[in-house]
Chains A and B, each alone.
Chain A
Amino acid sequence: MKKLLLLVLILAMTIGVYAQVSVEFWHAMTGKNGEMVQSVCDKFNASQKDYKVVPVYKGSYSDTMNAGIAAFRAKQAPAIIQVYEVGTATMMAAKGAIKPVYQLMAENNAKFDPKVYIPTITSYYSTSDGKMLSMPFNSSTAVMYYNKDAFHKAGLNPDKPPVTWPEFFDAARKLKASGMEGGFTTNWISWIQLENFSAWHNVPFGTKSNGFDGLDTELVFNSPLHVRHFENLYKLAKEGVFIYGGRENKANPLFISQRVGLHFESIGGYGSMKANCKFNFGVARLPYYPDVPGAPQNSIIGGASLWVFNGKSPAEYKAVTAFFTYISQPEIQAYWHQNTGYLPITNAAYELTKKQGYYKDNPGLEVAIGQLLNKPPTKNSMGIRFGNFNIIREIEDQVWEDILADKISVKDGLDRMVREGNAKLREFERLYK
């Protein structure tokens, strides 16, 4: 009798284990953010018994995407993969490879209302008629960081950071004059000074609603306004007020070591700024040119979203649906937002964080959200969607360095970025038309 009971117990346990559906989630988060991915998955796994999500770190964003592509070709793809925003158009175009999130949610009868999400975030990952293709996960936007102590020393008001570009350049010159090595620097030249710059001024970065309305889009960021902005950046570089710090986020040390007093960086870097800056700093909105009608509009996001691969079993899709529903809850979103500095993807999570009083101690995060929600997005500020965009950003980085090294003029440089970028867009169009 005892033996039989034991057998039944073992059998029940085995069934229990076997009935649990396990899916892999490939991601590119390191450090604190990586721990948070693990923590959110652990919470999900503990919240129910039917499904298990296993997070797997796969290296940098491009490593992760490549691993996903290779795995898909070998029919070993994970259920969920995190893809950075520049890979969005490539994922969208790969029609047979992905399962759109709106379709996944409908097939599994999940309660899913795209309206609860913050529009500027979801629009980035939706078709132009509003169908959500991937799940926004870690979203950030570009903001201005300023050194309050240095402002004080330079005779500037630390509580009134510059609002327009002319004020900004003025402040930067004063910071240099006060004894700093330079005035300002910036990360991500394309994302901040071209893509966000265009959205913030409500001018197109590319035609066809920045690529949302068709593959026959063309880049147009060589307009007089863009040329004017880059002429200004160039001029200040020659005055030694703007110091170039490198591609991607390599300019951070210049701000942290107080060699410049103003900096542009993602709000996703807020946590590391807080940990590393040995001075008081503030976060403010991006500056704008006051003579541009409609400015400031709203900024756009960066970061990554979660894509679901095609060809998985119905049970696996149920697991993914449960996971996506779980992470969209206000409590989980607020937890993620407050611990990583990435933006909440639902309005409810924002309201919850506000109610919890979190922004009183971390006003920088609210600045970013306010900037994103400043106005309802227009076709110039929904986001950007271009194929081969990784190469295009690289071209922009390269030519920008050539401009600063006086190998090409500002106007010719922007023309060249547009010309080379358009050639890459035509290749993409030819492949996916």
Chain B
Amino acid sequence: MAKQYEIKAKWLPYFLVLPQMIIVFIFFFWPSAQAILQSFYLQDPFGGKTIFVGLSNYIALFTNPDSDYLYSFIISIVFALSITLLSMTVSLFLAVQAHKKIHFTTFYKTMLTWPYAVATLVAGVIWLFMFNPNVGVIAWILKHNFGIPWDYLLNFQHAFILLTLAASWKQLAYNFVFFMAGLQSVPETLVEAAIIDGASPIRRFWQIIFGLLAPTTFYLLVMNLVFGFFETFPIVHGITAGGPGKSTSILVYKVWRDGVVNLDLGGSSAQSVILMILVIGLTVLQFRFIERRITY
């Protein structure tokens, strides 16, 4: 057991956490309080005139048939799940392949890791240039060689597939690195023992490797959902801008659009308060129920 020291000065611990508390206060509590406050008002962007409107900013989100807020909720969830599923399965597959004793593994690993260095918005633009129906090379090939009338500007399915591909590609490298590290920490002796017992490669993978990867998988699951839900803003902004119609207007994009571009500060604040409640709920859920069942 390590020796325990008693701190004599009572103020010292408070003093030591003070910088952190100040940062949390300035960058989290204060803006959050502002958002909560603003969500009850109709406000002139210049701060000249404000009218208290009670809960009507919230009510409008859920009752106005034209607001499509619930749709935005559903599409955000579906989007986050699709990215997580696609990106994690592909990266796990690639990690397992790259982990095998083959030539040029370092080369493959490097190539599979570098997309992580690409900024999310840039990733969006790369995909945009390939798939844009007006200027994109792949869009042209799809149309002229395969007869697929590719047009994500008007076709929701196309738009959704493109966004999911771009976001998953962006997240692939991150998952790959973690799965790689996870695979390297799987004891070789266990795998060898399984081979001696006559377990097939598939069985070895599912019953031993995949099981031992569980902490990594769980961690990545959370990170990917968070990425899909909150950090895909630049991809949506760069590729579809929420279109066609409002069909890919995910929650984080809508908050930004309504607040920053359209200057509807009250409505945008109400949306961000809802997002905040959602994040708090997810965090509680994670710590309370899920985290306990997985041993790291």
A interface residue numbers (CB < 8 A to B): 62, 66, 69, 72-73, 90, 93-97, 244-247, 250-251, 253-254, 257, 259, 388, 390-391, 394, 397-399, 401-402, 404-405, 407, 416, 419-420, 423, 427, 430-432
Contact = CB atoms under 8 A, between A and B. Distances in A.
B42 A431 contact: yes
A390 B263 contact: yes
Tell which of B42, B66, B245, B260 has the most Cβ of chain A within 10 Å.
B245
A47 to B, nearest CB: 33
Given A401-B154, A405-B154, A432 B261 contact: no
B134 interface: yes
Interface in B35-78: 42-49, 51, 64, 66
B155 interface: yes
B44 A420 contact: no
A93 to B, nearest CB: 7
A268 B135 CA distance: 22
6 contacts: A94-B44, A246-B153, A391-B262, A394-B257, A401-B244, A402-B244
B46 A73 contact: yes
A41 B264 CA distance: 34
Given A401-B244, A402-B244, A430-B51, A390 B262 contact: yes
B96 to A, nearest CB: 40
Contact of B155 (A95, A405, A430): A405
Nearest to A397: B243
B46 A405 contact: no
| Chain B contact surface mostly | loop
A93 B45 CA distance: 10
B241 interface: yes
Contacts of A399: 245
A94 B153 contact: no
Contacts of B151: 244
B134 A251 contact: yes
B156 interface: yes
B246 interface: yes
Given A73-B46, A405-B245, 8 more contacts: A69-B45, A72-B46, A73-B47, A94-B48, A246-B153, A257-B135, A401-B245, A431-B42
Given A90-B263, A427-B42, A398 B245 contact: yes
Given A93-B44, A404-B154, A431-B44, A388 B244 contact: no
A388 to B, nearest CB: 7
B37 to A, nearest CB: 15
A11 B16 CA distance: 51
Interface residues of B, number: 31
Contact of A97 (B42, B48, B242): B48
A253 B44 contact: no
Contacts of A416: 66
Interface in B234-269: 241-246, 257-258, 260-264
B45 A90 contact: yes
Closest CB pairs A-B (n = 4): A401-B244, A253-B134, A402-B245, A97-B46
| Chain A contact surface mostly | helix
Contacts of B64: 423
A94 B135 CA distance: 41
A407 B134 contact: no
Contact of A95 (B48, B153, B261): B48
B287 to A, nearest CB: 36
A432 B49 contact: yes
A40 to B, nearest CB: 28
Given A244-B154, A251-B134, A405 B244 contact: yes
Tell which of A245, A247, A405 has the most Cβ of chain B within 10 Å.
A405
Tell which of B64, B243, B257 has the most Cβ of chain A within 10 Å.
B243
Contacts of B156: 405
A94 B44 CA distance: 7
B149 to A, nearest CB: 10
Given A62-B261, A401-B243, A405-B245, A245 B42 contact: no
Contacts of A69: 45-46, 263
Nearest to A255: B134
A96 B264 contact: no
Contacts of A430: 42, 51
Given A62-B261, A401-B153, A404-B154, A423 B66 contact: yes
B182 to A, nearest CB: 42
A423 B60 CA distance: 11
Contacts of B246: 398
Nearest to A427: B42
Nearest to A310: B46
B132 to A, nearest CB: 8
Nearest to B267: A427
Nearest to B151: A244
Contacts of B244: 401-402, 404-405
A109 B243 CA distance: 51
Tell which of B64, B241, B258 has the most Cβ of chain A within 10 Å.
B241
Nearest to A74: B47
Given A250-B134, A430-B51, A431-B51, A245 B46 contact: no
Contacts of B260: 62, 66
A254 B134 contact: yes
Contacts of A247: 241, 243
A57 to B, nearest CB: 18
Contact of A96 (B45, B46, B134, B262): B46
A420 B46 contact: no
Nearest to B243: A401
A391 B264 contact: yes
